[in-house]
């Protein structure tokens, strides 16, 4: 039984065994849904699974409000849209800030996870709801990494996929910028080895610093420069005879604001956990390398990139499209905004999403092709 429309609910999925050999006992996955499920819940149906980005949550109808709803590209009069909260996050699914089965919170006892672990947890979540298959999975950034892994881990459960603004594996540059963020948090005196939840303090300074670094990779260089340039923050002078913390450039004030906002809504240990999971993202691991893994993909998959993306440059989506075994289509978002364009360029995303949905109606799924050939192992 699915939760009431728009309401946050959690589903017990049992123990999660990570790829690295750890166990997350008595795990839960949080989710929301919009629209009415129709069709065979174990077969062909109208379920769309939406995967959020790093600090996203289950309320996709809020953070993707231009895309999800009646009459919109992901029309909830036609589709049943489900959005889970990733394993390791802090919006209802089991993560470092969750209660441990033995008491207290998980804290440093929460193991390192990777993208595949998240997908295994989501698969268990769907099975717990009696959903053996979905029409499509759609995700950007970290959600795109999860979507890619879904197509390789459970192709029998996914008819179509839309992958936005992500790569086949973490690049050295991405790992470098992301480990800098992790270090900002773990070197905060209030980190306490990840066991700060019961201290009354949190490593907010470190988390805010991490967010400032990250935000510069989420937005385009052109957009940031056009908005702020070398302007001073109102009533401040960063060009005085001596440097002072209270005399800032406007861009510094903006980034500090972004950092403070995140500390008010997100757990630092979850940020470390999810960022480390992205560092470990590599679809080629154990599959003979990236190109062999991509070539083995049978799920019709659409790839979308952003022309000004610093975090996941467009050439990484070109690599995906050249090597995927079943490329459905490719599209480019043209925007000065950078990586976040898939969240903020509403008109372009509307066209892309509507085209994707149309292609899923026109193109046979891997399962349908296999059935026509008399083979059922896709």
CB 80 within 8 A of CB 38: yes
Strand 301-306 with 327-333, pairing: parallel
Dist. CA 334–CA 156, nearest whole Å: 33
SS (H, E, C) 101-165: CCCCECHHHCCCCCHHHHHHHHHHHHHHCCCCCEEEEEEECHHHHHHHHHHHHCHHHEEEEEEEC
Give the number of other Cβ atoms within 10 Å of residue 12's Cβ. 12
Residue 309 appears among annotated catalytic residues: yes
CB 95 within 8 A of CB 30: no
CB 105 within 8 A of CB 1: no
Dist. CA 83–CA 100, nearest whole Å: 24
Choosing from 89, 93, 141, 184, the catalytic residue is 141
Choosing from 75, 159, 309, 340, the catalytic residue is 309
Sheet strands (E) in the chain: 9-17, 23-34, 47-51, 68-69, 74-75, 80-84, 134-140, 158-164, 301-306, 327-333
User: If we measure between CA atoms, which residue out of 190, 271, 267, 258 comes closest to residue 228?
Assistant: 258
Residue 339 appears among annotated catalytic residues: yes
CB 86 within 8 A of CB 113: no
The CB-side HSE value for 265 (13 A sphere, CA atoms) comes to 11
| DSSP string computed for 149-211 | HHHHH-GGGEEEEEEES--SB--HHHHHHHHHHHHHHHTSTT-GGG--TTTT---HHHHHHHH
Degrees to nearest 5, angle at CA 295 with 291 and 298: 150
Q: Tokens 């990139």 — which residue?
A: 305
Q: Tokens 């996050």 — which residue?
A: 89
347 burial type by CB count under 10 A (0-12 exposed, 13-18 middle, 19+ buried): exposed
Active site residues: 141, 309, 339
């Amino acid at each position: 039984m699915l939760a009431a429309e728009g309401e946050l609910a959690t589903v017990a999925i049992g123990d999660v065994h990570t790829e690295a050999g750890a166990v997350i006992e008595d795990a839960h996955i949080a989710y929301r849904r919009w629209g009415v499920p129709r069709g065979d819940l174990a077969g062909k149906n109208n379920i769309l699974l939406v995967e959020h980005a790093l600090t996203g949550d289950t309320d996709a109808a809020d953070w993707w409000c231009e895309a999800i709803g009646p009459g919109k590209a992901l029309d909830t009069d036609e589709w049943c849209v489900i959005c889970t909260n990733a394993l390791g996050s802090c919006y209802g699914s089991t993560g470092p800030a969750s209660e441990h089965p033995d008491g207290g919170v998980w804290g440093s006892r929460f193991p390192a996870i990777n993208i595949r672990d998240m997908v295994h947890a989501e698969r268990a979540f769907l099975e717990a709801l009696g959903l053996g298959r979905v029409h499509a999975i759609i995700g950007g950034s970290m959600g795109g990494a999860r979507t890619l892994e879904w197509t390789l881990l459970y192709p029998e459960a996914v008819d179509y996929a839309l992958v936005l603004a992500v790569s086949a594996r973490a690049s050295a540059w991405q790992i470098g910028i992301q480990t800098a963020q992790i270090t900002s948090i773990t070197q905060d005196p209030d980190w306490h080895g990840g066991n700060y939840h019961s201290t009354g303090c949190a490593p907010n300074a470190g988390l805010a610093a991490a967010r400032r670094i990250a935000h510069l990779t989420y937005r385009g260089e052109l957009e940031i420069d056009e908005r702020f340039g070398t302007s001073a923050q109102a009533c401040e002078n960063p060009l005085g005879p001596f440097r002072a913390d209270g005399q800032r450039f406007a861009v510094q004030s903006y980034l500090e604001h972004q950092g403070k906002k995140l500390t008010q809504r997100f757990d630092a240990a979850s940020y470390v956990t999810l960022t480390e999971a992205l560092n470990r993202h590599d679809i080629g691991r154990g599959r003979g390398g990236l190109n062999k893994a991509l070539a083995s993909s049978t799920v019709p998959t659409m790839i979308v990139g952003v022309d000004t993306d610093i975090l996941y440059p467009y050439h990484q989506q070109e690599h995906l499209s050249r090597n995927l075994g079943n490329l459905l289509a490719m599209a480019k978002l043209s925007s000065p905004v950078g990586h976040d364009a898939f969240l903020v360029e509403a008109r372009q995303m509307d066209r892309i999403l509507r085209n994707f949905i149309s292609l899923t109606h026109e193109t046979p799924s891997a399962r349908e092709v296999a059935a026509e050939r008399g083979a059922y192992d896709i």
